[in-house]
Structure formats: C-alpha cells, structure tokens
Amino acid sequence: MTSTIIGPAAEPVTAEAHHHSHRDVNGGWLRPAVFGAMDGLVSNVALMTGVVGGNASRTTVILAGLAGLAAGAFSMAAGEYTSVASQRELVEAELEVERRELHRNPDDELAELAQLYVARGVEPELAAEVARQLSADPEQALEIHAREELGVDPHDLPSPLLAAVSSFGAFGVGALLPVLPYLLGATSLVPALLVALVGLFLCGAVVSRVTARSWWYSGLRQLLLGSAAAGLTFLLGRLIGGGIG
C-alpha cells in the first residue's frame, strides 16, 4: 500500500506503509487442544508401560489403556468446565458491580476513567474529554471500564461447555494413539511406544507455533519428556509387579 505525502517543496513523496503481524500470544484454540492431546498421550502411554512393566497380559494392557482414556478425558472435561465456569461467574459478578457503580456514581466512574488515561500520559483535559465521550453510551462505558480495570471483554467471555468438549476430545485423541496398535493386533509394547513418541514429537512441533522455539526443539523436548515418563513408570511397574508376584 502506498500513500502520497506533500513535502515542503510541494513535491509528492511516496511513502511505503509497512505493516507487521504478531502470533496469537494467548494461543487461541491451538494451545489447549495440543496440550490436551499431549497430556492424553503422556499419561496413557505412561500408564500402559507401567502395566506392561508389571508383566500384564495384552488384554489387561488394552483394558488399562481404554480405562485411562475414559477416566482422563472425563476428568479433563469436568475440570475444564468447572474451572472456566467459575472464572466466568467471577467475571460476571465483577461486571455487575461495575454496572451498578456506573449507574449510582457516574461522575466518580468518569473521573476514574479519566485518571487512568492521565496515568498513561494523556493530558488531563484531553483525558477528561475522551472519558466523557466514551462514557456517553452506558454499554460502551461498561465495556471500557471492564477492559481497563478487569482486563476482560464482556462480549468475549470463555464458554465452559466449549472448554469441556475441547478438552475431552483432545485428551481422548492423544490417549487413543498408544492403544491403537494393541487394538489392531499388536502383542508387544514397541508399536505403541513408536506411535506415542511420534505423536509427542508432532505435538511439540505444533506447539512451536505459539512459542519462540523452533519446531524441532519443541518436538524433541516433548519426545524426551514423554520418554522419561514412560521409562520411569515402566520401572515402577516392574518393581511393583515383581514385589507383588
């Protein structure tokens, strides 16, 4: 995009408009989905390796994997729903407090908003005028105060149901991966481990989209962490299984 600027000698000067973009620092839907899948992968492959370490049968390993998938997915969904619902209810309660204050003490709230702009470097007269214009509409005034004082957008509050469904689905997909080889006829842990480790590397690589790390670094880091969890639970299963036997 170009624009024409008239210089001191009335000669047109062409200036290039430079634009830049940022990655979504909040992660949007990507981060919770990927981390949910990663959690399912790590927890279920660790559970299964622990059971295998205890010399369990193929049927027992499959049962443990499916039970871990169901229990983890429902637990994640319930936890996310409760957490997001509680957060939303708290925000809505605070918004109601702000709405009452705007109705009961409009002058005080106007002065408070103006002072916020003054604290950011705006001249007092200009800050007062900006606050007055923004406060002309009650709903806009509530939105501005919510953004400035609470750091939230009243029209963009998180959905507990969406959070629960997303967590359930992401965890379930991740937890299913190490079970799939057994469901398809595998009789040893090796195929399940290979599938899980590839999945962990891919999840880590995808996470690099919301971080400053390279894809291979994030992928390798997650692969190593998942391998460590699986190895430790295998040893724990071997120790406990040997002791019980």
Q: What is the pLDDT of residues 88-117, one digit of tens each?
A: 999 999 999 999 999 999 999 999 999 999
Q: How confident is the model at residue 25 (pLDDT cuts 50, 70, 90)?
A: very low
| Stretch (H or E) spanning 99 | helix 58-104
Task: Indicate the DSSP class of residue 149.
Answer: I
- Tokens representing 194? 């290979």
Phi, psi of 24, rounded to the nearest 5 degrees: -70, 100
* Ramachandran bin of 85, using left for φ above 0, alpha for ψ from -120 to 50, beta for the remaining angles: alpha
Query: What are 60-82's pLDDT values in tens digits?
Result: 999 999 999 999 999 999 999 99
In a domain, 7, yes or no: no
- Tokens representing 204? 């880590």
In a domain, 57, yes or no: yes
- Predicted model pTM: 0.78
Q: Note the pLDDT of residue 156.
A: 87
Strands 2-6 and 12-16: antiparallel
In a domain, 130, yes or no: yes
Is residue 20 over pLDDT 70?
no
Q: How far apart, in Å, are the Cα atoms of 227 and each of 53, 73, 174, 221?
A: 14, 21, 15, 10
If you count them, how many residues does the chain have? 245
Interval 189-202 mean pLDDT: 94
Give the least confident one: 4-13, 16-25, 181-190. Answer: 4-13
Residue 211 structural domain: 29-242
In a domain, 78, yes or no: yes
In a domain, 6, yes or no: no
In a domain, 1, yes or no: no
Question: How many domains does the chain contain in total?
Answer: 1
Q: Note the pLDDT of residue 125.
A: 95
Is residue 21 over pLDDT 60?
no
Write down the residue that tokens 């009452």 correspond to: 100
In a domain, 187, yes or no: yes
Is residue 26 over pLDDT 60?
no
Q: How far apart, in Å, are the Cα atoms of 18 and each of 2, 15, 46, 88, 203?
A: 9, 9, 49, 38, 34
In a domain, 128, yes or no: yes
- Tokens representing 55? 């010399």
Q: Note the pLDDT of residue 29.
A: 60
